[in-house]
DNA sequence: ACCTGAACACCGTTCAAGT
DNA sequence: ACCTGAACACCGTTCAAGT
């Protein structure tokens, strides 16, 4: 059992409590009272620092993610190509210093590019964003190709395919999900990536 | 306002109540008491026929879906497996008698499951929808497996992977796109599907 | 077997009251 | 500003009791 670090203020105790609860396997969901109890804080105090459960989640998740995904080298040849590619895609999914949250990102994106009839300008803007995503993925594929880890074929087509998978996963991040979301996400990425690599 | 059909037994009244509640726009989620009230039945009776909310959801969704979708054509052995699977996925992407368009569907879905704080009920509702999608894809995979067209492996995992791809494509349908969208869509589907099938 | 409705153990949020 | 804890309006599930 984890001991609570000493000397933390209430807000950090709450974050610590929520993070450790999340780290306790499936079924260990965040409830107000559980988090408050572990943080040794009242529910009122919890609500003072985090007005809704979503606000709490949005504060905790980036912390948990950053603990898991640190490395960022697609060039690191000591790591198997498939792991590097998966890690790269995961970073696209949840950028390094992201203050943005998947839900808000989706709301903004939908309002901007779907709700209103897109003007020429917003349309171009979205297509540019999409191209940038494709560019990043194609770059990663290029690195792996130079190592000979990639079978012959159309990398542009593969990049479009991977962008689709990443997009599908980012939807899953914004919509409700089971507690096993992160595990499913990794599984799907490996399934998608293994197809492209030589075995 | 819908009138309840006469002459239904309790179980069917419950199913009718749940189905009509699902059809009532954002914010109308399934709770035990709401369904029981509309069905003019006690919560205990509801629980007698459907021991959990999940059981209720899993009973209602196929009914709602079957009102929209007809046969998948997944059994037609005169067509190559990959083409049948791609066709089935394409049908999930744009249902046969669909009156709604991708853009509107996305707006409704985002409003219902992302914009507003998801309650336990709307959350359960979305997860049940997702399960129904998985169920249908797993069914298609099962048919192909019986024909020996599928390599050994975890079909549940494959279904999650295909759901992700389909979701990614449905996003592309709602957001701005180049005019080559349809071609890209088919390309991506074949790329995703070919991985799963024996060659 | 089918049904009732109270009771139980939760949930997230609000708020008057304290420091 | 920070914190408390009771109260509120929900939720899904259980169960003794009826028909």
Q: What is the pLDDT of residue B35?
A: 95
Of A146, A159, A147, A163, the closest CA to residue A196 belongs to: A159
Per the CB < 8 Å rule, is B192 touching A103? no
Does position B148 have pLDDT exceeding 80, yes or no? yes
Q: What is the mean pLDDT of chain A?
A: 83
Does position A166 have pLDDT exceeding 70, yes or no? yes
pLDDT band at A101 (very low <50, low <70, confident <90, very high): confident
For residue A172, give the chain B residue with the closest CA.
Answer: B164
Does position A199 have pLDDT exceeding 70, yes or no? no
Q: What is the mean pLDDT of chain B?
A: 85
Q: What is the pLDDT of residue A43?
A: 97
Q: If you average pLDDT over residues B14-37, what whole number do you get?
A: 84
Q: Say how many Å lie between the first and final Cα of chain A, rounded.
A: 41
| Neighbouring residues of A57: CB distance < 8 A, sequence distance ≥ 6 | A18, A30
Q: Say if residue A190 is exposed, middle or buried (CB neighbours under 10 Å; 0-12, 13-18, 19+).
A: middle
| Neighbouring residues of B104: CB distance < 8 A, sequence distance ≥ 6 | none
pLDDT over 90, % of chain A:
27
Q: If you average pLDDT over residues B156-165, what whole number do you get?
A: 94
- Tens of pLDDT, residue by residue over A23-70, are 775 445 788 999 999 999 999 999 999 999 888 988 887 787 666 555
C-alpha A173/C-alpha A193 separation (Å) is 19
CA of B56 to C1' of D18 (A): 25
| CB burial string B74-108: b at 16+ within 10 A, e below | beeeeeebbebbbbbbebbbeeeeeeeebbebbbe
Q: Say if residue A141 is exposed, middle or buried (CB neighbours under 10 Å; 0-12, 13-18, 19+).
A: buried
Decide if B186 touches A, using CB distance below 8 A: no
| Neighbouring residues of B12: CB distance < 8 A, sequence distance ≥ 6 | none
Q: What are phi and psi of B159, to 5 degrees?
A: -65, -45
Nearest to A123 among B117, B176, B195 (CB): B176
> Tell me, what DSSP letter sits at residue A150?
B
CA of A11 to C1' of C18 (A): 20
Q: What is the pLDDT of residue A163?
A: 95
> Tell me, what DSSP letter sits at residue B115?
I
Nucleotide nearest the Cα atom of B31 (by C1'): D11
Q: What is the pLDDT of residue A71?
A: 46
What is this structure's pTM?
A: 0.78
Determine the residue among A30, A102, A158, A191 to mutate to test chain B binding: the one whose Cβ has the most chain B Cβ atoms within 10 Å: A191
Decide if A110 touches B, using CB distance below 8 A: yes
Strand C-proximal protein residues, Cβ less than 7 Å = A 30-34, 43-44, 47, 51-54; B 9-11, 41-45, 47-49, 117
pLDDT band at B171 (very low <50, low <70, confident <90, very high): very high
pLDDT over 70, % of chain A:
87
Q: Which two tokens stand for residue A192?
A: 């998608």
Q: What is the pLDDT of residue A169?
A: 94
Q: If you average pLDDT over residues A151-177, what whole number do you get?
A: 90
Does position B38 have pLDDT exceeding 90, yes or no? yes
Q: What is the pLDDT of residue B28?
A: 60
Nearest to A168 among B109, B165, B194 (CB): B165
Higher pLDDT residue, B99 or A38?
A: A38
Determine the residue among A110, A112, A126, A129 to mutate to test chain B binding: the one whose Cβ has the most chain B Cβ atoms within 10 Å: A110
> Strand D positions with any atom < 7 Å from protein CB?
2-7, 10-16
Q: If you average pLDDT over residues B78-106, what whole number do you get?
A: 81
Nearest to B176 among A127, A172, A194 (CB): A127
Q: If you average pLDDT over residues A180-192, what whole number do you get?
A: 87
Q: What is the pLDDT of residue A99?
A: 53
pLDDT band at B169 (very low <50, low <70, confident <90, very high): very high
Q: What is the pLDDT of residue A69?
A: 52
Per the CB < 8 Å rule, is A165 touching B169? no
The answer to whether B74 touches B88, Cβ cutoff 8 Å, is: yes
Does position A123 have pLDDT exceeding 80, yes or no? no
Q: If you average pLDDT over residues A104-109, what whole number do you get?
A: 83
| CB burial string B160-184: b at 16+ within 10 A, e below | bbbbbbbbbbbbbbbbbbeeeeeeb
Per the CB < 8 Å rule, is A160 touching B184? yes
Cα of B66 to nearest chain A Cα, Å: 24
């Amino acid at each position: 059992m984890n001991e609570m670090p000493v000397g933390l203020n209430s807000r950090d105790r709450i974050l610590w409590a929520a993070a450790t609860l999340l780290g306790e396997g499936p079924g260990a969901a965040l409830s107000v009272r559980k988090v408050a109890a572990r943080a040794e804080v009242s529910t009122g105090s919890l609500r003072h620092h985090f007005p809704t459960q979503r606000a709490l989640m949005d504060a905790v998740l980036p912390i948990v993610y950053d603990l898991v995904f640190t490395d960022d080298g697609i060039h690191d040849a000591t790591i198997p190509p498939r792991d590097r590619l998966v890690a790269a895609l995961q970073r696209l999914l949840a950028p390094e210093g992201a203050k943005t949250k998947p839900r808000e990102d989706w709301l903004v994106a939908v309002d901007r590019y779907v709700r209103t009839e897109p003007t020429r300008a917003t349309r171009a803007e979205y297509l540019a964003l999409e191209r940038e995503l494709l560019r990043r993925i194609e770059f990663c594929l290029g690195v792996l190709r130079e190592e000979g880890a990639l079978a012959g074929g159309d990398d542009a087509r593969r990049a479009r395919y991977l962008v689709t998978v990443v997009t599908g996963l980012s939807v899953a991040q914004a919509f409700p999900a089971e507690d096993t979301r992160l595990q499913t996400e990794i599984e799907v990425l490996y399934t998608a990536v293994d197809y492209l690599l030589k075995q």
